[in-house]
Structure 1
Amino acid sequence: MSTTVSNPLPNSPNSKKIVTAAIIGSALEFYDFVLYAFFAVYIGKAFFPSDDPFISLLLSLAVFGIGFITRPLGSIILGIVADRKGRKIALLLTILFITVGTIGLALTPSYASIGIAAPIIVLTCRLLQGFGLGGEVGPSSAFLIESAPSHKRGLFGSWQLACQGFAAIMAGAFGIIMILSLNTEDMFAWGWRVPFFLTLLLIPIALYLRNNMAETLHESDVNTLSSPTNSLHSSDKAHPSKTKKAYVPSVVKTGEFWRKVFIAFWAIAGITVPLYISIYMNTYATTTLKLSPAISMSATLVSGIAILMFAVLGGWLSDKFGRKNLMFWPRIVLVLISLPLFNYLVNNIGLSSLMITTFVLTGFTALSGGACLVAVPELFDRKIRATGLSVAYAGVAILFGSTTQPAIAWLIEWTGSPVAPAWYMMFIVSLSIIAVWFMEETGNKPLK
């Protein structure tokens, strides 16, 4: 039987400050990672020059996709670090990796200056960024729900997704400001580097806040884990013999762990794929709808606002009505409205239709996602919580991280239909609904 452990932080007067440290760090990391995508055209010309601009862009996007390769590795390694050594050290390491990668991108001279060394350095920086970002979700989600009062875990934990919305808002705002403020020549020469430099000013603040975080992994939990599957049913400390028996590996415990990971994988995929599509709306508006770069960039701002608003709302409502309700019903609505919304967009091309479509689709995704990123870590015991979420998240990153946007582009080309993204979204979300149906309800219950 799982032991219920009291949370050390909810009654602390500094709990809001501590949680803010996790949120700010996550927002900065996601901002640095997605900023590359928004300035891919300019980065491509600086580091991957070619007589064909499309080849430069393609190489730049390929390096963006490479960042997903190390995300699963970061998820698993730093998730295990968080469960063995503590949440705090894992979250400090994620900031370190993302900072080194961002500094490298901002300072690397162009291909014209240092030749082949430029793209090699950029590639290395993307791998470091991907590793750091991959290791962020598991430890920070575990930290947030362990820091919360039992009746507010949904609200606290939903900020993991909400901060990604804040990151998209910052990236979109900087993108619009730079595009409107500089001419094309200056943007290609140096303008795209400015947003990266500005975040470097904020990273020391995030490091300071995280260094002063309390640890939510109990000392008795640290270094007792020999295998993630060994602690699925930890026994009461008052019975040493039972405790010893609980850590003996068994096929049953291993099977239970991977069953939860499989369900969590599809539950997370149901929010990740629609969010990747919302990020793609910027490119979709430019390449498929033929809208201007400034109008297209507005999709990024709108999606960020929707994520920020509805993720927190979803987490808050899940504390009142249960996690499964908030994961299940918004996905049903998403499946039903995806095709009509894309049809509306392609038949009424313009700023307003782009904003409405992006806001509604992203809003329902975030409403479900705010509850999902709380419910998944709640499935696992404290000593494998970050690892369990990280393994599921890593699987989603491997299968869908670098494939969703190319798959959508290929579907549009193959079918000749601009509404192809809706079919892809409906298929993946439908599979995730089945997974949510089989999840246990974890709202308003003690953490394991």
Structure 2
Amino acid sequence: MAEQLSETAKIEREAPALTGRAILGATIGNMLEFYDFITYSFFAIQIGHTFFPAQSQFNSLMLSLATFGAGFITRPIGALVIGAYSDRVGRRPAMMLSFAMMGSAIVALALIPSYDAIGVAAPVLAIVARLAQGFSLGGEVGPTTAYLMEAAAADKRGIAVAWQPASQQIAATAGSLMGLALSALLSSEALESYGWRIAFLFGALTLPFGLWMRSNLPETLHRREEMASVASSAKGRGPVRGNARIVILGLLILASGTIITYVTQYMTTYAENTLRVSTNVAFATTAVSNGAGIVGALCGGWLADRAGRWPVMVWPQFLALLMTYPVFLWIVATHSAWALLGGLGVLTLVGSIPYSAFYVAFTESLPKNIRGRAGATIYAVAIAAFGGTAQLIVTWLIHATGSALAPAWYMLFATAVGLVAMTVMRESAPVLTKPQCRSEPES
């Protein structure tokens, strides 16, 4: 029995490097997560009318948004439970569990009857579905990122892990396009009756495909790694206290990235309500921004494999800090499509580069025995605390100050915090030794 286990461990350590199919299988959960996020935001009014009929449209919308926010509450719990499961049992079973729960919750939300049909049970079931979805999402990012890093060849970890943030941008684009398509094809009555359900069920179509893809992934928990010296747990202080430095830095940087991401996703509403530009330009702003984010994320991973993690984090983040206020000043002064599409597109492109390098550096810096749960928990806490409040804070700042530049102030603050934390992070890229040429002895 011991020999069989030893042979299994040897096979897993010598598993082939990550393939495109494995990348898709690992990141499909991230795609479904962000697709759901965008879809819910797009149809929040219709969902509110279905499950939360109220005396005013405002109250109905607020109850709908509160239900969406309920999913943030259970994210840290799911991160601890599913993340620990990935560290103890394996990345693949943890990813299977989170994806199955996530897909089931989306299907349930799409099929729950309306308040008119089943009364108070409708909002109760909707809240339960969101809580279950939040739990599963909390355990998705940590094990997935750990898997991408562990399965990739040592000199290709950056580009492999970069597909994690890139997949989120791809899904956000798909969600936006689905919302636009349904809005164009269906009447307002049809959208409220069943159109929003079609959008969720379309995303749920990935459930059987994703489960099949993930079931065929090789396990990486026992693979041998080439690491820099930073990924070591201090003896006698426990796994978390022994790595408190990277945990705190990771939380600060993820909070920074979360704020920037959610403020950027707010730009459609900002363009329409604050800048008073046309609806087409407002939606195009989000589409261009998401596209630039995909390119930036992949460029960041590619550069991190060639130049190291630290410089690819720090210098693009510094450039984004310098660009943020001038870009928003240009947008507010001109209200032009060029400023919105070009300025925000370039800012998103540059601002996406450092976070891909950070994801791989952060994952490499965590010891393998806590990598899944620590990565998942820190990400979930950052999303819950800062993602759920970012758009509310920006809206309040615009209202309180009367300035259309308020989003720039919040983004500047977040970018500066992230830059300081990135600056004090240590380089984590493995030092790859090249095979030495042996000289033949002279005859």
TM (norm. structure 2) is: 0.88
1:195 maps to 2:195: no
1:337 maps to 2:341: no
CA distance in 1 between partners of 2:307 and 2:10 (Å): 23
Give the alignment partner of residue 376 of structure 1, picking from 332, 352, 362. Answer: 362
1:251 partner SS: coil
Bigger shift: residues 428-437 or 150-159: 428-437
Whether the aligned pair in 2 keeps the contact of 1:338 and 1:422 (CA below 8 Å) is yes
Which AA in structure 2 matches 1:315?
G
2:221 partner SS: coil
Count how many residue pairs are aligned between Structure 1 and Structure 2: 420
Bigger shift: residues 29-38 or 317-326: 29-38
Q: CA distance change for structure 1 residues 54 and 323 in 2, over 3 Å: closer, same or farther? A: same
- How far off is 1:135 after superposition? 1.0
- How far off is 1:385 after superposition? 1.3
- How far off is 1:6 after superposition? 9.4
- How far off is 1:299 after superposition? 3.1
Partner of 1:29: 33
Which AA in structure 1 matches 2:87?
D
- How far off is 1:11 after superposition? 6.3
CA distance in 1 between partners of 2:214 and 2:283 (Å): 32
Partner of 1:421: 407
Q: CA distance change for structure 1 residues 202 and 6 in 2, over 3 Å: closer, same or farther? A: same
CA distance in 2 between partners of 1:138 and 1:252 (Å): 20
Partner of 2:6: none
CA deviation vs aligned residue, 1:183-202 (integer Å, no higher than 9, x gap): 22221221111111112222
Q: CA distance change for structure 1 residues 109 and 299 in 2, over 3 Å: closer, same or farther? A: farther
Matches within 5 A, 1:193-342: 193-218=197-222, 233=232, 250-251=236-237, 254-342=240-328
Q: CA distance change for structure 1 residues 367 and 154 in 2, over 3 Å: closer, same or farther? A: same
Partner of 1:243: none
- How far off is 1:46 after superposition? 1.6
Partner of 1:226: none
Which AA in structure 2 matches 1:333?
L
- State the structure with more CA Rg: 2
CA distance in 1 between partners of 2:120 and 2:324 (Å): 44
Which AA in structure 1 matches 2:320?
L
CA distance in 2 between partners of 1:85 and 1:149 (Å): 22
Give the alignment partner of residue 51 of structure 2, picking from 23, 47, 51. Answer: 47
Which AA in structure 1 matches 2:241?
G
- How far off is 1:117 after superposition? 1.5
Whether the aligned pair in 2 keeps the contact of 1:179 and 1:294 (CA below 8 Å) is no
CA deviation vs aligned residue, 1:39-79 (integer Å, no higher than 9, x gap): 11221222222232222222212222222111122222211
CA distance in 1 between partners of 2:363 and 2:18 (Å): 23
Identity %: 38
CA distance in 1 between partners of 2:14 and 2:182 (Å): 41
CA distance in 2 between partners of 1:179 and 1:156 (Å): 35
Which AA in structure 2 matches 1:192?
W
User: Unpaired segments of 5 or more residues in structure 2?
Assistant: 1-8, 226-230, 433-443
- How far off is 1:254 after superposition? 4.8
- How far off is 1:399 after superposition? 2.2
Which AA in structure 2 matches 1:348?
T
Partner of 1:184: 188
1:17 partner SS: helix
Partner of 2:228: none
1:190 partner SS: helix
Whether the aligned pair in 2 keeps the contact of 1:273 and 1:425 (CA below 8 Å) is yes
TM (norm. structure 1) is: 0.87
CA distance in 2 between partners of 1:217 and 1:253 (Å): 17
Partner of 1:439: 425
1:439 partner SS: coil
Which AA in structure 1 matches 2:425?
M
CA-based RMSD? 2.5
Bigger shift: residues 33-42 or 313-322: 33-42
- How far off is 1:160 after superposition? 0.6
User: Unpaired segments of 5 or more residues in structure 1?
Assistant: 222-231, 235-245
Whether the aligned pair in 1 keeps the contact of 2:158 and 2:301 (CA below 8 Å) is yes
Partner of 1:16: 20
Whether the aligned pair in 2 keeps the contact of 1:377 and 1:388 (CA below 8 Å) is no
Whether the aligned pair in 1 keeps the contact of 2:81 and 2:139 (CA below 8 Å) is yes
CA distance in 2 between partners of 1:252 and 1:132 (Å): 26
- How far off is 1:325 after superposition? 1.2
1:361 maps to 2:347: yes
1:409 maps to 2:400: no
